[in-house]
Amino acid sequence: VSAAMTEKPWKRYTGGDAKGFVDEMRLVAMKLHTRQQAQEGEMEAKAPEEQRVEEWEPTLDGYLKFLVDIKVVYDTLEQIIEKPSFPSLLRDIECMGCGADGEFRNTGLERSEKLAKDLKWFEEKGYGVPEASSPSVAYAKYLKQLSEKDPQAFICHFYNIYFANTAGGRIIAKKVAEKILDSRELELYKWDGELSQLLQNVRDKLNKVAENWSREDKNRCLGETEISFKFYREIVRLMLS
């Protein structure tokens, strides 16, 4: 194992060639994928959810657990964005004075209501919808605490959780749906409006907000990527349980 591999990936980024801060967050996130998950991935696959999606053996029960748990995470993110308790997070979220157009509320990426519809559909079909389990409860608690003490670090989770769902999340959903859901497309993967445009709007806002951050703030935010991956992976793993 080379030194470059054991080094924390985000430590190699100091702003460098990245076009804006979102690019930096993306580069760090891509490196934390396994080679099996994404072309730009640099990690070795160990756990089952780190293998090629084609090799996964998802179960319907597991998928329902995933939906329940990921909803807890989106509920939490959306509650925090709606009512941030930390003044500077509030400022960033409302984006006052950052020059960006608008705020991080109602970006069109919100997933809580969509997930509620998916779970209702399963319920109506007679599937037993489980209780939320420990990874999402732990992640929700972590996100709440972080939003109160470190807005920059919180923003990293906001970026990763919303963007992961539109990238790998959709790839996973398609494969899983083919295997166990008769190719049903869930609301979780539907957006009102053109997704690429919604994502670009959020990227522009994030870039604007981060223009006011020090290098230290940016590095702290990038450093959170690993934690976001750890929690998100535990929740994705539920699909295979």
Q: CA of 125: how far to CAs of 128, 129, 228, 230, in Å?
A: 9, 11, 33, 32
- Chain positions 170 to 199 lying near ligand HEM, rule: CB under 6 A, are 171-172
What does the block give as tokens for 203? 């990227």
Nearer to ligand HEM, 84 or 169 (CB): 169
* Matching residue, tokens 């935010």: 221
What does the block give as tokens for 53? 């999606």
Q: How far is the CB of 30 from ligand HEM (least distance, A)?
A: 6
Reference 109, options 38, 170, 163; nearest CA is: 163
Binds ligand HEM (CB under 6 A): choice among 18, 53, 60, 181: 53
Cβ contacts of 135 within 8 Å, gap of 6 or more: 69, 231, 234, 235, 237, 238
Reference 146, options 203, 209, 224, 78; nearest CA is: 224
Cβ contacts of 23 within 8 Å, gap of 6 or more: none
Q: Which residue is nearest to ligand HEM (CB)?
A: 168
Binds ligand HEM (CB under 6 A): choice among 67, 202, 229, 234: 229
Reference 65, options 186, 231, 240; nearest CA is: 240
Nearer to ligand HEM, 100 or 239 (CB): 239
38 is a site residue for ligand HEM (CB under 6 A) = yes
209 is a site residue for ligand HEM (CB under 6 A) = no
Binds ligand HEM (CB under 6 A): choice among 21, 26, 156, 234: 26
User: Which range of residues in 4-12, 85-93, 104-112, 230-238 is near ligand HEM by CB under 6 A?
Assistant: 230-238
**CB 120 within 8 Å of CB 204:** no
Nearer to ligand HEM, 88 or 196 (CB): 196
**CB 65 within 8 Å of CB 115:** no
Binds ligand HEM (CB under 6 A): choice among 29, 95, 100, 221: 29
Q: CA of 171: how far to CAs of 38, 160, 189, in Å?
A: 11, 16, 10
**DSSP code at position 231:** H
Q: How far is the CB of 186 from ligand HEM (least distance, A)?
A: 17
Q: How far is the CB of 225 from ligand HEM (least distance, A)?
A: 7
Contacts with ligand HEM, 133-172, as mask; x by CB under 6 A: ---------------------------x--xx--xx--xx
- Chain positions 74 to 133 lying near ligand HEM, rule: CB under 6 A, are none
Applying CB under 6 A, the residues found at the interface with ligand HEM are 26, 29, 33, 37-38, 49, 53, 160, 163-164, 167-168, 171-172, 228-229, 232-233, 236
